[in-house]
A = this chain, B = another copy of it.
Amino acid sequence: MPHITAEQFNALMRAQIPLAAFLGITALEIGAGLAVLRLPFTPAALRPGGVQSGPALMALADLAMYAAVMGLYGNEPRVVSSDLSMNFLRRAPDQVLLGRSTVLGLDAKRALARTEIVPETGDGRLICLVTANFALP
């Protein structure tokens, strides 16, 4: 059983992460080391060209990994990322996006996680790949 549920994580975002509320990001599913979060297609996330901005995708990916790490490690909001890398593969105009994250490794001090950002519907082709390390308190 994960250490934090999607409901608890959504409440945490509403209470303490204004950027998540601004973008409308919600958790659909959290397990022990995995999570699925959703970014609606919203004007708040756009950049010139009419596509979602890099920071909006980063918010989706970062929060998805944060949820997956807490699901495995414990309901401990002080978990923080220490480094992160993103690759943008293609644009996805007018799409609701999902961030699917997995914890790839965990030791006493850190967790490595990955998020794949894909459209909610359609071909499911990868839009953005993100990996990050999280320091554990």
- A28 near B: Cβ within 8 Å? no
Q: Could you tell me the distance between the alpha carbons of A120 and B54 in the complex, rounded to whole angstroms? A: 24
- Give the contacts of A102-137 with B (CB-CB under 8 A): 104-105, 107, 109-110, 112, 114, 125-126, 129, 131, 133
Chain B's closest residue to A79 (CB) is: B48
Query: Which of chain B's residues have a CB closer than 8 A to the CB of A84?
Result: 54, 58, 85-86, 88
Interface size for A (C-beta < 8 A) is 48
User: Which are the 8 A-B pairs with shortest beta-carbon distances?
Assistant: A48-B77, A55-B59, A89-B105, A85-B85, A58-B58, A83-B87, A84-B86, A16-B48
Q: Which residues of A contact B (CB under 8 A)?
A: 12, 16-19, 22-23, 43-49, 51, 53-56, 58-59, 62, 77-78, 80-91, 104-105, 107, 109-110, 112, 114, 125-126, 129, 131, 133
